[in-house]
Amino acid sequence: MGWRTACLTLEARLTVQLTLNGRRRMVFSQAENELRNLEGRMSHRILAAAGAVAIMLALSTVAMAQAAGGQGAKAGAKPWTPPRTPWGQPDLQGTWDYRTLTPLERPTALSGKQFLSEDEAATFEQEEKRRQNRDLIDSAKGGLQYPPGGVVPYNEFWYDRGNSVVGSKRTSLIVDPPDGRLPPLTPAGQKRAEAAAAEDRETQLGHPSADSYKDRPLSERCILSAGTLPILPGPYNNNIQLIQGPGYVAILNEMIHEHRIVPLDKRPHLGQNIRQWVGDSRGHWEGDTLVIDTTNFSPKVDFRGAGASLHVVERFTRIAPDTLQYEFTVDDPAIWTKPWTAVIPMKQTSELIYEYACHEGNFALKNVLAGARALEKGAGR
């Protein structure tokens, strides 16, 4: 056995004998890289000495890492694996809370900053709670999405957006593009965004488009929430419930009680002529990750301008007893110049999901239409 083979064999034995975490793997990888750089420039005798030093340094660093790791780095500790259903799939069932103050897009003030420190995160949380507090907004001056003279429809009592950023302290939920921002819009996407912004301004100023109930957005009509698919944090009701059965998984969104029953049997998508409010979902497992592919959205759906050509791929991975990592990738070539991806950690909760009876007592829609007719009458139309 040559010297190099012997050294690498020793490294392999050490790797097997020790429970490696990321730092230990990095140490051994660095040691091996040093050996590769030295090879060909030194004699075998000198190289052997260098190799021995590298391995000793690796062992020393591993020892220090073990000491620093405390109780969580016990030798022989096994990595956490998710529980299994009776039919052998990872068990993702339960109610999951995804409230967070972390914005979808990285704020321009944090451009180039991927993560916050503990102190920075605490400051951001306090400032964000104050910034979003509806009770502190002067409607005459405006604030947030409300223009001067607009209407602030709910006071702070109704909001349940969470009190903290995500555990990693990342400055955006978007992880790709790396700048944490949505990709540039296509010309058609820009046109739709400008039209939507203009309509929102008119609505806030008391001049909504309300010739018919069909002119009002889906959420106002209690049909579909903007954060249903993909799942995104909103002002309140930031919970989903997952229920599994052999061959299927059901996902219940608390907001507007929307639900999906997703088959896992590799059946093809519905024909392109069949369109649905939450699209057509098909799921499969990739290791311990549930992957759900959704297409066939109704052209009446409006997710940040995207609709009929919207394509969403979701990935659910239980990474700890109380944590479900939710990752999704959105693609609509009619709206964005490239796909984008976000990651949201969801925390398990013992709270129950109650029916969100949106239509019952929905006086808002009736009043919007009545108000529009009153404005027309006053204008002599």
Q: What pLDDT, in 10s, does the model give residues 108-119?
A: 999 999 999 999
Q: What is the pLDDT of residues 182-220, one digit of tens each?
A: 999 999 999 999 999 998 888 888 888 889 989 998 888
pLDDT at 36 over 80: no
Q: For residue 204, what pLDDT is reported?
A: 81
Q: For residue 6, what pLDDT is reported?
A: 40
Mean pLDDT rounded to a whole number for the chain: 82
More confident residue, 75 or 282: 282
CATH number for 94-99+182-367 (one of 1.10.10.60, 3.30.300.180, 2.40.128.20, 2.30.42.10): it is 2.40.128.20
At 140, is the secondary structure helix, strand, or coil?
A: coil
The conformation of residue 156, written as its DSSP 8-state character, comes to G
Q: For residue 381, what pLDDT is reported?
A: 64
The answer to whether residues 347 and 323 touch, using CB atoms and an 8 Å cutoff, is: yes
Q: For residue 280, what pLDDT is reported?
A: 97
Query: With bands split at pLDDT 50, 70 and 90, how would you rate the model's confidence at 359?
Result: confident
**pTM of the predicted protein model:** 0.77
Q: What is the pLDDT of residues 324-354, one digit of tens each?
A: 999 999 999 999 999 999 999 999 999 999 8
Residues 6+ apart with CB under 8 A from 340: 174, 176, 177, 182, 183, 329, 330
Q: What is the pLDDT of residues 155-171, one digit of tens each?
A: 899 999 999 999 999 99
Q: How many CB atoms lie within 10 A of CB 160?
A: 14
Distances (CA, A) of 194 to 141, 203, 313, 352: 23, 14, 27, 40
